[in-house]
Chains A and B, each alone.
Chain A
Amino acid sequence: MSLKLLFVYFFLLSIIYFPFMIALKQRWACAQELAFLSGIVTTKYIKMIMSAVLLPLTLFKHFYSKTSFFFFVMGQYIIFRYILAGKNSRKIKLIRKIRKQQEYKVRKETAEDLHDGLGNKLIRIQLLTDMLLTRTSPVDQEKITLIEKIRKNTDDLYATTKDLVWMLDPENDSFEQLGNRLKNFVEDAFRGTTVLVRTVTSLNINGISFPLMFNKNILLIFQEAISNCIKYAGAKNVLFIIKSYENGTILFLLKDNGKGFDLNYSQKGNGLNNMHERAKRINAKLNIFSNSSGTSVILKIEPIKNQYKYDDQY
């Protein structure tokens, strides 16, 4: 038995049976006094007197020395700790809930502020650029090119703001929302090109809610991959798959039949490094395979503890 446990035992004992011990002490003092008064002062006779005066006084094994009593006290201790732990866990749960609600509120408000503030201003710039374009003479090609560049950059900035607002909004933390967003993003990105796009989503698990900014990293990994595909691959077909498995594993795959690229050479570029960096941040495995017949980008997320929450209350 550990020293700590013994200490706890005696500590509890002293607390619970303190009044009883006082009574014993008083009896002892009383016996001593009697012995003194009667002129018998040796301890030897005290027992005699006690048994004579304070009958019945039988000698028995102290209750606190009994094994059953030890377990009884320890049982009480365990129950006490259990109640205390329950209280603490309720408190922790409450704190977590409040924190989550606050985070939800702050994120929601920030997303709305960004949307209303920055988004509206960008829309104004877009419209003013359209106005400027109508006021520019069609023969002034140089000016038109510049204005179109402004419009293109504003459009990109608007799209980036929209992404940021989307990521910030806590309502988009779910796997389903991410799936929809990625699917739409892939379809939008290749719209107007001759590339044939096929998207497949197969979700076997539901109710997954990712932690803050988890979706952001996945979204940005594939935005980079798609942007690379459009710029460099020269592909005719693109396949995008999102699949979730019963065991909780989630797989994202972007495959094209383009001309591929040299991984060793391109590894030095920031784009690929950033993709790997983002995958590392969310403990996901990112594999990129490329050869002359195409490129595959595979992101795999394992259901590690705390990796994401599988929120099932019922």
Chain B
Amino acid sequence: MTSTKFRIVIIEDDHTLRDGYAYLINNSPSSVVVASYCSFDHAKNNLSKDRPDVILLDIQLPGTNGIDALPALKKLLPDTYVIVLTVYESEKTILHALANGANGYFTKNNPFPKIIDAIQEVTQGGGPMSINVARTVIMSFQRNQNSPLTKRETEVLILRSQGKDRSQIAEELFIETETVKTHIKNIYSKLNVNSRADSIRVARENKFI
């Protein structure tokens, strides 16, 4: 009964993984792979024709990466669910992917039956994630939403709490060292503190970071 099976599209640049996923999904009773592509750029013109229910999307792709591809996919196929399947599990990447419209997020080291379960879950309206991903998301939501700090100032303070100096922060956020200095001055004035240690302590106590 192929017609009742979920139609899956795989966008993954590693051909071993792509073929492996296709094989395992086709072996599962509930899903069938209708197409698999090595990049979003190759996939975008065919997706409307493929009419997938679920897309398994890698992040590191040649050309348009997975994060940037997400809004385009959502615009192209608003009713299709997208599960990100990647090796990246940093908070920044996870939140970026979810903000861009990902319905699920899994790391590739998960046993494949879990991915099959995730396909079922996502079509029932769930937001499947691997444990480590869910933990990262929860931790980020535990932050105080009424923080007086701007998004950028919060980023600067988080990096400072990780022991980074001004030049490293500047390098990471692609801004000037002087700008970092200004952010830090603003943070101190908003939190009414005079030292790095105090700023981090106050921010932590109030869950600003």
Contacts and interface: CB of A to CB of B under 8 A. Distances in A.
Interface string B155-170: 0000011111111100
B16 A127 contact: yes
Interface stretch (B1-9, B45-53, B193-201): B193-201
B74 interface: no
B76 interface: no
B200 A207 contact: yes
A173 to B, nearest CB: 6
Contact of B161 (A104, A151, A176, A313): A176
A131 B23 CA distance: 7
Given A115-B87, A128-B16, A207-B200, A312 B24 contact: no
A124 to B, nearest CB: 5
B21 interface: yes
Contacts of A158: 109
Contact of B14 (A122, A124, A184, A188): A124
B200 A206 contact: yes
A119 B14 CA distance: 13
Interface in A148-182: 151, 155, 158, 171, 173-177
A306 interface: no
Contacts of B164: 171, 174, 209
B24 A130 contact: yes
Nearest to A210: B163
A313 B20 contact: no
A208 B200 CA distance: 11
A209 B159 CA distance: 12
Nearest to B111: A130
Contacts of B162: 171, 174, 176-177
A84 to B, nearest CB: 26
Contact of B20 (A115, A119, A127, A312): A127
Nearest to A309: B163
Given A120-B87, A207-B160, A314 B195 contact: yes
A222 to B, nearest CB: 18
B135 A126 contact: no
Contact of B165 (A120, A175, A313): A313
B109 A313 contact: no
Nearest to B198: A206
Contacts of A312: 195-197
Interface in B32-83: none
8 contacts: A97-B167, A126-B108, A127-B17, A127-B20, A134-B24, A173-B163, A174-B164, A191-B131
